[in-house]
Amino acid sequence: MSDTPAEIQIVPMATNHLAPVLKIEKTVFRDSWTASSFLEVIRMSDKSWVALCGEGVAGYLVTQWVLDEVHILNLAVTVPMQRQGIAAKLMQFLIDLCGNSGMRDLFLEVRVSNLPAISLYQRFGFRQLTLRKSYYPDGEDAWVMHSRLETHDESAHEANELNERGREG
């Protein structure tokens, strides 16, 4: 596995990214999203991003935010740039953003056969929550995975508790 390309920049997904995003989508996924699905995401939300490497789209991340939860709807990296840390960089970007925004829970579905993705998500604290039988159109099951983020308030509370215990002892 090589290092992350040095010049990866994560920016909000825009309509000018649609063609390369669709190319990645159709190459990476058996059941790919349509152009209209991505256009709706771009129009209705500011919660989708692309990873740019030079002038090109290397990957993308689409999420949905509801209350204090984030659902990862779509994450993909172009085949020639897979296993170079781009998906990890997108995940770290999301986790940092969520932490700074007070989001607490992240959820996603992933094919049970997608072991590289499951491994990536586990490295970021995701655990398998439940199995969705026949979730995908081809009948494959999906793992629902979850990660609980520690908020700034929780970190401060835990630090205060440790300080108080230290004073008592």
Lowest mean pLDDT among 1-5, 43-47, 67-71: 1-5
Question: Residue 168 — very low, low, confident or very high, per pLDDT cuts 50/70/90?
Answer: low
The CATH number of whichever domain residue 147 belongs to comes to 3.40.630.30
Has residue 60 been placed in a domain? yes
Taking residue 35's Cβ as centre, other Cβ atoms within 10 Å add up to 12
Identify the domain containing residue 17 by its residue range: 8-168
Residue 94 covered by a domain: yes
pLDDT for the residue 68: 87
**Number of structural domains, the chain?**
1
Distance, CA of 148 to CA of 37 (rounded, Å)? 28
Burial of 146 (0-12, 13-18, 19+ CB in 10 A): middle
Task: Give the residue numbers marked as catalytic.
Answer: 109, 121
Query: Is 2 domain-assigned?
Result: no
pLDDT for the residue 31:
86
Where is pLDDT greater, at 101 or 121? 121
Is 125 within a domain? yes
| Contact in structure between 50 and 93 (CB atoms under 8 Å) | no
Whether residue 3 is contained in a domain is answered as no
Residue 98 lies in a domain: yes
Whether residue 63 has pLDDT greater than 80: yes
Residue 1 covered by a domain: no
